[in-house]
């Protein structure tokens, strides 16, 4: 398939910039695609009927949605200094995320924090957490084998939620967190559910003391108390130099230790103050938990509904692992598993929407972008663009082979965002998804229970499987 890289509906260069095509309320009503009733359907309809750049109102606030790799490149890379994160989505969650990496608008604070934190997420460091991932998964499978009869129906979404939280907690804090970890997990689950509800209708603002907001604040207070106590107790584990030591030191290395010891060698040579460290730890748990939980749930749901893909995956896993637990180095030997992960993140990208705000006016694809516009990026819609993806609704991991990926524009695929604010946990997440997939696939296969309707994506903060993912679990 050849991609037309200039599908602009306005003049691209030169000539006066034209206004961004706008979805009018009358069209919405005629088309019968209300945003409230069917967000995903509405967004796809808007892109299909108005093109790759389209303006509409979300909750009464004007947004410009970009749905072309060139446009996305311009905002996230080429003109990134003109687009910060002082956009609606992040303003809403700032009372929770505070000054942590995820929602901080940009500028010097973000740059310094990213410089300090980036080294802790290099592949060589993430490799040290691989054992956390496979051991926690094996523990989960052993529990399944003891608790469930072959073919029992299990809500794997809940199981993977617990697994993802265990992995991130262990990687951040090691085993030293003790019983407080349970309390933290409960507070987090509550805060997450309250925030999720808030996202379906984001008013009144979090500062207004509604009963739900008060509960959210209390849950955040409990998470804060836990993080403060861990930080107060001081860094556990060895000097960060331990990350280059032998593999059995991996158990003691944790992200908190690395972050506490990080210094800004390109800047003032100092580290993070305790308050900033606190915010970053909270942002990391929030950034890591829901996203990987949902990705894992979608991976195994798609395998259960595509037995031919599952069979190919099992063949690869069996040939490479021969029944043993996978390690970090097995990832390079199992390209099909990697493609299953990538294709799942194409169809059900957990962080399915994000935003920027233009500081000054700009011109994108021949259209005029006003200053202070909310720029809306949506990977659910982009990853189904018919000019970018052949048969976009089909689950086809082979589309990620090097041959078939050749020539695909870089910003056609953005499960982790792009540019300098690309997900800092990308390596961590891809490692976790790949290794959990291999570990589970070596021992179990999944089937959809007879008569169960398809699981639908529910667009909350992340793309959630509505009603969970009940699957029959069969030992292989």
**Contact call for residue 101 and ligand HEM (CB under 6 A):** yes
Distance CA 155, CA 67 (A): 34
Applying CB under 6 A, the span of 151-159, 357-365, 419-427, 437-445 interacting with ligand HEM comes to: 419-427
Residues with Cβ within 8 Å of residue 172, at least 6 apart in sequence: 254, 255, 256, 281, 284, 285
Q: Is 160 in the site for ligand HEM (CB under 6 A)?
A: no
User: SS3 of 252, please?
Assistant: helix
Query: Among 300, 301, 389, 428, which residue interacts with ligand HEM (rule: CB under 6 A)?
Result: 428
The answer to whether 21 contacts ligand HEM (rule: CB under 6 A) is: no
Task: With CB under 6 A as the rule, give the number of residues binding ligand HEM.
Answer: 22
Give least dist CB 419 to ligand HEM, A.
8
Q: Which is nearer to ligand HEM, 33 or 220 (CB)?
A: 220
- Piece in contact with ligand HEM (CB under 6 A), picked from 62-70, 218-226, 421-429, 442-450: 421-429
The interface region with ligand HEM, picked from 62-70, 126-134, 280-288, 444-452 by CB under 6 A, is: 280-288
Q: Is 282 in the site for ligand HEM (CB under 6 A)?
A: no
As a whole number of angstroms, the distance between CA 456 and CA 241 comes to 46
Q: Which of 417, 443, 447, 452 binds ligand HEM (CB under 6 A)?
A: 417
Contact 402, 333 (CB under 8 A): no
Which residues, 300 to 319, sit near ligand HEM by CB under 6 A?
none
CB 355 → ligand HEM: shortest distance, Å? 7
Looking at beta carbons only, is 309 or 345 nearer to ligand HEM? 345
**Which CB atom, from 54 or from 382, has the smaller least distance to ligand HEM?**
382
Alpha carbon separation from 455 to 34, 373, 391, 459 (Å, rounded):
21, 35, 20, 13
Nearest CA to 442 among 27, 80, 64, 138? Answer: 138
CB of 34 to ligand HEM, least distance (A): 26
Q: Which residues contact 399 (CB under 8 A, 6 or more apart)?
A: 339, 343, 346, 389, 390, 405
197 near ligand HEM, rule: CB under 6 A:
no
Q: How far is the CB of 451 from ligand HEM (least distance, A)?
A: 31
Q: How far is the CB of 281 from ligand HEM (least distance, A)?
A: 10
Q: Cα dihedral sign for 164, 169, 170, 176?
A: negative
Q: Does 415 bind ligand HEM (CB under 6 A)?
A: yes
| Least spacing, CB of residue 258 vs ligand HEM, in Å | 12
DSSP for 400-455?
GSHHHHTT--GGG--TT--GGGS-TTHHHHHHHHHHHHHHHHTTEEEEPPTTPPPP
302: Cβ contacts below 8 Å, ≥ 6 apart: 309, 340, 343, 344, 347, 348, 395
Which among 475, 473, 390 has a CA at the least distance from the CA of 159?
A: 473
- Structure-block tokens of residue 293: 């939980």
**Closer residue to ligand HEM (CB): 23 or 430:** 430
Query: Looking at 102, 181, 364, 435, which residue binds ligand HEM (CB under 6 A)?
Result: 102
Q: Which of 284, 369, 438, 455 binds ligand HEM (CB under 6 A)?
A: 284
Query: How many angstroms separate the CA atoms of 180 and 339, rounded?
Result: 37
With H, G, I as helix, E, B as strand and everything else as coil, classify residue 391: coil
Q: Which is nearer to ligand HEM, 51 or 350 (CB)?
A: 350
Q: Buried b vs exposed e over 102-125: b needs ≥16 C-beta within 10 Å?
A: bbbbbeeebebbeebbeebbeeeb
Q: How far is the CB of 192 from ligand HEM (least distance, A)?
A: 14
Near ligand HEM in 347-386, by CB under 6 A: 350-351, 354
Nearest to 433 by CA among 309, 331, 332: 331
For ligand HEM, which residue of 40, 195, 272, 423 counts as binding (CB under 6 A)?
A: 423
Q: Which pair of structure tokens corresponds to residue 108?
A: 């010097």
Q: Which of 33, 469 has the CB closer to ligand HEM?
A: 469
Q: Which of 292, 293, 297, 344 forms a contact with ligand HEM (CB under 6 A)?
A: 292
> Tokens 């989960």 appear where?
140
Residue 314's CB is within 10 A of a number of other CB atoms, namely: 16
Residues paired with 369 in a beta bridge: 362
Residue nearer to ligand HEM on the CB measure, 69 or 425: 425
**Is 291 a binder of ligand HEM (CB under 6 A)?**
yes
Task: Reduce the DSSP state of residue 376 to 3 states and report it.
Answer: strand
Q: How far is the CB of 432 from ligand HEM (least distance, A)?
A: 7
Interface residues with ligand HEM (CB under 6 A) are: 101-102, 114, 283-284, 287-288, 291-292, 295, 350-351, 354, 415-417, 421, 423-425, 428-429
């Amino acid at each position: 398939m050849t991609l037309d890289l200039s599908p602009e509906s306005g003049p691209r260069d030169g000539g006066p910039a034209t206004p961004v095509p706008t979805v009018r309320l009358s069209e919405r009503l005629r088309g019968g695609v209300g945003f409230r009733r069917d967000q995903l359907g509405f967004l796809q309809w808007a892109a299909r009927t108005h093109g790759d750049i389209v303006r509409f109102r979300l909750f009464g606030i004007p947004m410009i949605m970009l749905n072309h790799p060139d446009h996305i490149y311009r905002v996230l890379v080429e003109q990134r200094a003109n687009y910060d994160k002082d956009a609606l989505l992040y303003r809403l969650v700032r009372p929770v995320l505070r000054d942590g990496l995820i929602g901080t608008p940009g500028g010097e604070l973000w740059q310094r924090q990213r410089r300090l934190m980036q080294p802790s997420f290099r592949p060589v460091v993430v490799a040290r957490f691989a054992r956390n991932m496979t051991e926690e998964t094996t523990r989960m499978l052993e529990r399944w084998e003891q608790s469930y009869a072959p073919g029992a129906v299990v809500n794997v979404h809940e199981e993977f939620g617990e697994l993802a939280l265990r992995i991130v907690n262990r990687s951040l804090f090691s085993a030293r967190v003790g019983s407080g970890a349970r309390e933290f997990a409960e507070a987090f689950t509550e805060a997450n559910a309250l925030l999720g509800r808030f996202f379906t209708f984001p008013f009144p603002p979090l500062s207004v003391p509604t009963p739900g907001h008060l509960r959210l604040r209390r849950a955040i207070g409990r998470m804060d108390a836990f993080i403060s106590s861990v930080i107060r107790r001081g860094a556990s584990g060895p000097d960060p130099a331990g990350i280059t030591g032998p593999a059995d030191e991996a158990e003691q290395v944790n992200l908190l230790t690395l972050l506490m010891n990080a210094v800004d060698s390109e800047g003032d040579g100092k580290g993070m103050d305790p308050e900033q460290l606190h915010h970053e730890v909270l942002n990391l748990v929030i950034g890591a938990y829901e996203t990987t939980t949902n990705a894992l749930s979608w991976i195994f749901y798609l395998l259960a509904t595509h037995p031919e893909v599952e069979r190919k995956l099992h063949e690869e896993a069996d040939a490479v692992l021969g029944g043993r637990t996978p390690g970090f180095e097995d990832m390079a030997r199992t390209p099909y598993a990697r493609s299953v992960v990538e294709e799942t993140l194409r169809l059900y990208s957990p962080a399915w929407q994000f935003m920027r705000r233009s500081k000054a006016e700009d011109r994108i694809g021949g259209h005029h972008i006003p200053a202070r516009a909310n720029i809306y990026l949506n990977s659910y819609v982009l990853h189904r663009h018919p000019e970018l993806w052949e048969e976009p609704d089909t689950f086809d991991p082979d589309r990620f082979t090097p041959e078939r990926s050749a020539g695909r524009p870089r910003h056609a695929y953005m499960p982790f965002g792009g540019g300098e604010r690309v997900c800092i946990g990308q390596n961590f997440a891809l490692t976790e998804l790949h290794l959990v997939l291999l570990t589970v696939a070596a021992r179990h296969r999944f089937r959809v229970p007879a008569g169960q309707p398809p699981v639908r994506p529910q667009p909350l903060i992340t793309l959630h499987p509505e009603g969970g993912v009940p699957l029959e679990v069969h030992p292989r």
